[in-house]
Amino acid sequence: MDRYIGVFDSGLGGLTNVKELHRLLPGENIVYFGDTGRVPYGSRSNDTIIKYTFQDIRFLKSFPLKAIIIACGTVSSIALDVVRKTEPDLPIIGVVEPSVKKAISLTKNGKIGVIGTEGTIRSGAYGDMVLKEAGNYRVFEKSCPLFVPLVENGYIESEATRIIVRDYLTPLKTSGIDTLILGCTHYPLLTDVIREVMGDEVSLISPGVETAAWAKSYLEEEGLLNTSGKVGETEYYVSDGADKFARLAENFLGSPIYEDVKKIDIESW
């Protein structure tokens, strides 16, 4: 069997990435880990996020891997550089660079907005990368801590969601951005409401979509694509609530999960 692409997230949200991988790379075997027992990561300290990230990667490494995709915006922002240093032989792809490169290619006025969890915005990772790539551009960042619980509880298009989205995003709208990075796994599910607030003229960037496309190019360039011609298999693991994960997965994946979702003890890794 061809090696796996390992994908992980703090919970369900990284399935938006898997959805795109299934579309772009149907031949690849994927192992997904969602840390549902310890979600959310976004409000935790850097030390805790880094500790969790190492455990998540140690678990994924129990499978033969060709690459890891960090689907989580918070982990990609805070822990990517640290884990890359300790895993020099394993390609590790985060969501920040693909999203930033896309934003830079789309913006016309050089004003880019970034929204994410508290950890992501505190890290400044998106803003730093925009400025590294395009020093004359301006970045406007805003943490939106209520978006994840809204999505997790199915408040996708409710009036409460509209009020909160408007409250968080009005300052970004006022700043005149023409491109907005939805820098968290869950935020693309709020695309319709975010678009209502930001208007059609603002480009919305979904990290899951950009990162899957990035991974495809990378694997192609490195000659790592599965050439067996067979449809790949996907395995799902979580740290708690396997039934709930299987039930809610369709919201993120766009189709139900037919495979067994297995629970593991992530603290033991």
Which residues are marked as active site?
72, 184
Does residue number 9 form part of the binding site for ligand DGL (CB under 6 A)?
A: yes
Which of the residues 131 through 160 are near ligand DGL (CB under 6 A)? 148
CA–CA dist 227, 210 (Å, integer): 23
C-beta nearest to ligand DGL: residue = 42
Query: Which stretch in 69-77, 128-136, 220-228, 232-240 sits in contact with ligand DGL by CB under 6 A?
Result: 69-77
Return the residue of 6, 8, 10, 65 that touches ligand DGL, per CB under 6 A. Answer: 10
Of 122 and 138, which has the nearer Cβ to ligand DGL?
122
CA–CA dist 228, 92 (Å, integer): 23
Q: Is the dihedral of CA 83, 67, 74, 202 positive or negative?
A: positive
Return the residue of 39, 130, 190, 253 that touches ligand DGL, per CB under 6 A. Answer: 39
Structural element, H or E, at residue 31:
strand 29-34
Pick from 263, 227, 253, 265: nearest CA to 71: 253
Of 29 and 76, which has the nearer Cβ to ligand DGL?
76
Does residue number 6 form part of the binding site for ligand DGL (CB under 6 A)?
A: no
Residues 6+ apart with CB under 8 A from 246: 236, 257, 261
Which of the residues 99 through 128 are near ligand DGL (CB under 6 A)? 117, 120
Query: Which stretch in 72-80, 153-161, 174-182, 221-229 sits in contact with ligand DGL by CB under 6 A?
Result: 72-80
What residues pair up with 140 in beta bridges, in sequence order? 113
Structural element, H or E, at residue 22:
helix 15-24
Does residue number 13 form part of the binding site for ligand DGL (CB under 6 A)?
A: yes
Residue 160-189 contact track with ligand DGL, rule CB under 6 A, x = bound: ------------------------xxx---
CA–CA dist 257, 245 (Å, integer): 9
Cα atoms found within 13 Å of the Cα of residue 180, Cβ hemisphere only: 30
Residue 201-240 contact track with ligand DGL, rule CB under 6 A, x = bound: ----------------------------------------
Largest CA distance in the chain: 52
Using CB under 6 A as the criterion, which residues of the chain lie in contact with ligand DGL when the complex forms?
9-11, 13, 39-42, 72-74, 117, 120, 148, 184-186
